[in-house]
Amino acid sequence: MFKFTPYVFKSLWRHRGRTMLTVTGSAVALFVFCFVGAVQQGLARLTSSKEAERTLVVFQENRFCPASSKLPEDYARTVSKMPGVKDVVPIKVFTNNCRASLDVVVFNGLPPEKLRTARKLELESGNWTDFDSRTDAAVVGQAIAARRSLKPGMKFTIGDVTVSIVGTFRSTVAAEDNFIYTHLDFLQRARGKSSVGTVTQLEVQLAEGTKADEISRAIDAEFRSGPVATTTRSKGVFQRDTLADLAELIGFAHYLGYACVGLVLALVATTTVMAVQDRIKEHAVLQTLGLRPARIFRLVLAESVLQSIAGGVLGIGCGTLLLFLGGFAIGAEGVTIAFQPSLEVATLGVVVSVIVGLLAGIIPGWQAAGTEIVKALRHA
């Protein structure tokens, strides 16, 4: 079969304009497929990680946007004394937009001594000493730093919040690369009026073997008659609930991925059918030279698969590169989903390209293999 490789490439290049249009169309479809897959995988990783299941988020009852949740900071001391609780981190959240946005900026204010234990951050520039020594200091995720062209030594302002950037970091959780971390007491005082003594939420880290549901019920029962009632959920459930509307849209985008696959199938099949119809006489000549119908079928199938793979590799390659360089994310209500490229999505795209190429070539290949020699040679 390999000795016919030059013939296959020559057949494709014979109508190079048509071939290039098919490859380009397939590339665009697989580019979209790659983006859809990255968003879906980003949501799954955010809400299904082991850490998200072992961490609870305490939020004000019947509140959604971070600006509307105001918990007494001293709730943290009460929760920390409960059995099964390993640590409690009070967090003040400020975001420039509670609605869904592709350029959401999220500030998280934490006690400096808690930041490095509660988050797995690796500084790419700057140092922790500067962060600890300055009350207005902030470390910025590498994704938002690239998107906003932020570097250590710069000041950055959103709304009433102005921070001095002392470093950039990379997190083991891709979504956190879109966060800006600063001091809790700074963020409590930064927004025009003082909110000292209140936080947006508490993150409760559980000890091994602790049942999250039991602790959640105990926390809510403790504060039910207090100044502010709470709703406690695992971090994964909290993020899923917060992103519920976006999750529905992302779920619907799944069908967009199917539509892209169907588009590639239609494009490659149409091009292959046209190529077979243009070469009816040629296939008859090949049969007279001794090629069996099965060999002709495989040659047509090879043309179909090559076009599909070429478009798939081009589209997936461009999509993966753009995702890697762009640092894209979509967020709502202080929670972000990172568009993260992955080997799994890329591999799936290539596999889809191969399968689509095979399916698209079956009917044209069958048509070419069934060519009647005498009738085809009389074909004008």
pLDDT, tens digit (0-9, with 9 covering 90-100), for 304-342:
888 889 988 999 999 888 888 777 777 777 777 777 778
Confidence (pLDDT) at 76: 92
Report the run of H or E that residue 234 belongs to, with start and end: strand 230-234
Give every CB contact of residue 214 below 8 A, 6+ residues apart in sequence: 84
What residue has token string 């695992």? Answer: 234
Domain boundaries, the chain: 2-46+245-377, 62-228
How high is the mean pLDDT of the chain?
82
> What number is the average pLDDT over the span 4-16?
71
Average pLDDT over residues 128-141: 92
Note the pLDDT tens digit of each residue in 68-108: 889 999 999 999 999 999 999 999 998 877 666 667 788 99
- pLDDT higher than 80, residue 43: no
- CA 21, CA 311: separation in Å to the nearest integer? 10
Q: How far is CA 307 from CA 130, 279, 360, in A?
A: 55, 17, 10
Nearest CA-CA partner of 246 in 174, 330, 326: 330
> 92 Cβ partners below 8 Å, 6+ apart?
107, 108, 109, 184, 187, 188, 195, 198, 199, 200
pLDDT over 70, % of the chain: 86
Spatial distance between the Cα atoms of 36 and 117, rounded to a whole number of angstroms: 33
Interval 210-252: pLDDT, tens: 888 899 999 999 999 888 999 999 888 887 777 766 777 777 7
> Facing residues of 85 across strands?
206
Report whether pLDDT(376) > 60.
no
Task: State whether the Cα torsion 329-61-249-355 is positive or negative.
Answer: positive
Can you give the pLDDT at residue 118? 86
Give how far Cα 69 sits from Cα of 62, 93, 201, 334, Å.
9, 9, 7, 12
State the pLDDT at residue 380.
47
